[in-house]
Structure formats: structure tokens, C-alpha cells
Amino acid sequence: WLTSTILHGFHEGDELPLGNVTSHPLANLVLDDIDRLIKEEMHARKYVRFLDNGWVVGKFTHWLRRVQSRVSRKMRAIGLTMKSNWQIYPVESRGIKVLGYRVFHKYILLVTKTKKRLQKYLGEAIERMKRGEDPTQLDLGRYHSYCGVLKYCNSWRLSKSTTRLFERLWKARTWMQSPQHRTRAPSSS
């Protein structure tokens, strides 16, 4: 009853809203058989699924094609279809795009779109701070957000030119505005 109420409780013709609080539990419920097929029957050692996106990593193309075939058949049996853009490709050269990152065997990078957005927004804020302006609340929010994003990937060079530069300028600016700046030098960090 509850699931039916949630699924059919929207206006006629509307789909469930993206990010609905029920999306994750319902995906887990519906796709549990697929997960079991991949992990237990096909013995996939490296398998990840987030909502309706799944990644199986393996060494042999013929085994990956067999997994795809079995998963496709299982999905048809429960009334679902696999997206037409599924792919088998070498992870070493392209990485796996997942949740805004490109995951490789030994390292993780930020996807290019997010990297360019970070460089644009923080670059603009840094330029304004160099001209003597204070950062806005939006700039500070973006700074904190990108610090959180960069924490989970290999981003030393990127953070050096963006978030760490922003932080140094912000600390210098707040120190210069404080009454103590005439009596002692700021600590170097």
C-alpha cells in the first residue's frame, strides 16, 4: 500500500522526482536479484551499484559480455531493460566515471566538468580578493564545498592553485583587517 501510494501519488503523467527519498530503497529492493546474480552467481569480485547505475570490473572481455548477457536476461524477466549505452572498455585509459570522479586502479581524479567549474568560480573569487574585495557568502560556500569534493580524489596540484590559494588570501585578508596585525606577524601554514 505504501509503495503504491508513493509511486502513484504524483500528478498524472509525472514520473517520480529525481532524488526522491524513496529512490534508493526502491532501487535496492527491485535490483537485489540483479546484485545477487552478479556477485554470487557470476562471482564478480569488483562490482558497484548506485541506484540504477552499475559497474562491473573484470580482466576478460568474454566474461564481461557473459555478465552483461545474463544481467540483461534477468532484467527482462522482471520487466526492466538495460540502457542502450552500456560499454566494455579498458579502465586503465579512461577510468570509471562515478559520482563526479574518474576512478582508476591506483588513483581518483575529478571529472573535467567539475574541475573547470571549480577553476572558474574560485578563480573569479581569487581575482576579486587580489583586487582588494572581500569574498561573498557564495564564494565562501563554494570554497567549502570544493574542499569537500577535493578531499576524496588525487588533487594536490588542483587544490594548490584553487582552494589553498583562496584560503591563503582569505587568511591574509582577515588578518590584515584584525587589530593584531600591527603587533605580530601571521603564523605561516
**How many C-alpha atoms does 4 have within 13 Å on its Cβ side?**
1
Strands (E), the chain: 46-50, 53-57, 96-98, 101-103, 108-110
pTM value? 0.67
The tens digit of pLDDT for each residue in 17-75 reads 556 677 778 788 888 999 999 999 989 888 888 888 888 888 889 999 999 999 999 99
Asked if 101 contacts 109 with a C-beta cutoff of 8 angstroms, the reply is: yes
Rounded-to-integer distance, Cα 65 and Cα 145, Å: 39
Strand, coil or helix: what is 79? coil
